[in-house]
Amino acid sequence: MASLRSNFRLRIGLAGIVLDADYIDRENHASAAETDAKRLLLGIWSERKPHDNDARTAADLSAQVFPAVDLYISGIHAHRIGDPDIYCLLGGAACELGLRVPSLAPGEIEFVQHWLSRHPHAQAVPISAANHKRLVDGPLLHNTYIWIEDPQESLNIELVRNGFYWANSLEDMLAYDQHRMAEIDDPRLATANTELRKEREAVEELGLIPA
């Protein structure tokens, strides 16, 4: 089995960094930790419905402009303590679906941190927001597309200006969704269109700035 696993890794370009025996020990510890959480009814194993109101809480917290210094930013994604929202510096599918989009050039994280250090009074401006589900029976998740701006500059624009992303990466989530729905609104795709619209019933999008 170990030989087969090693061959599979080589074929698809994966490489094990630790010995299989060492990782099995880690997996056993993880299973034991999950057993403890179940026994103590902690977190997702509690009697409360997991994350029951997270999307609503996130929507309330993310609808206003707030200081960018409140965010913990890693590249184009950010979080706030006590806020279940996921904030995105890119729009379109990257934010709506919570995709991890690699930049087109190295150094993006360092660039963002340097820009923020030079603009300590920058504000996070909500552009649009979306509730979505990763799992059919899972909780609603909330993503908010933001621009980080001070009176003179925008971090989002500077990411494009310095070649990290294309300009269309900053497309508003609402505009992206309208374009996507228009593309599939074709009689030849009637069945797929119906199914997609059913899925969209579980997703709520909200524009946060005037059109």
pLDDT, tens digit, 9 for 90 and up, residues 112-127: 999 999 999 999 998 8
**Which of 70, 112, 57, 67 shows the shortest CA–CA distance to 90?**
112
120 and 33 fall within a common domain? no
The contacts of residue 94 (CB under 8 Å, 6+ apart) are 76, 88, 101, 169
For residue 111, the model assigns a pLDDT of 95
| pLDDT over threshold 80, residue 167 | yes
76 and 8 fall within a common domain? no
Looking at residues 180-193, what average pLDDT do you find?
60
Q: pLDDT higher for 109 or 48? A: 109
105 and 201 fall within a common domain? yes
For residue 26, the model assigns a pLDDT of 82
81 and 185 fall within a common domain? yes
Which residues constitute the domain of residue 16? 2-45
**Structure tokens, 165:** 């992303």
| pLDDT over threshold 70, residue 103 | yes
Q: pLDDT higher for 209 or 164? A: 164
The contacts of residue 175 (CB under 8 Å, 6+ apart) are none
What whole-number distance in Å separates Cα of residue 156 and Cα of residue 97?
Answer: 19
**Which of 90, 108, 98, 103 shows the shortest CA–CA distance to 168?**
90
38 and 19 fall within a common domain? yes
User: Could you tell me if 133 and 96 are in contact, meaning their C-beta atoms sit under 8 angstroms apart?
Assistant: no
| pLDDT over threshold 90, residue 81 | no
Question: What value does the mean pLDDT of the chain take?
Answer: 75
| Three-state DSSP class for residue 180 | helix
Q: For residue 128, how many other CB atoms are within 10 A of its CB?
A: 23
What whole-number distance in Å separates Cα of residue 174 and Cα of residue 71?
Answer: 23
Query: What are the C-alpha distances in Å from 167 to residues 10, 156, 158, 170, 181?
Result: 37, 9, 10, 6, 21
14 and 80 fall within a common domain? no
85 and 166 fall within a common domain? yes
| pLDDT over threshold 70, residue 29 | yes
99 and 194 fall within a common domain? yes
Number of domains the chain is built from: 2
Looking at residues 2-13, what average pLDDT do you find?
44
90 and 32 fall within a common domain? no
73 and 144 fall within a common domain? yes
Q: For residue 73, how many other CB atoms are within 10 A of its CB?
A: 20
98 and 187 fall within a common domain? yes
123 and 189 fall within a common domain? yes
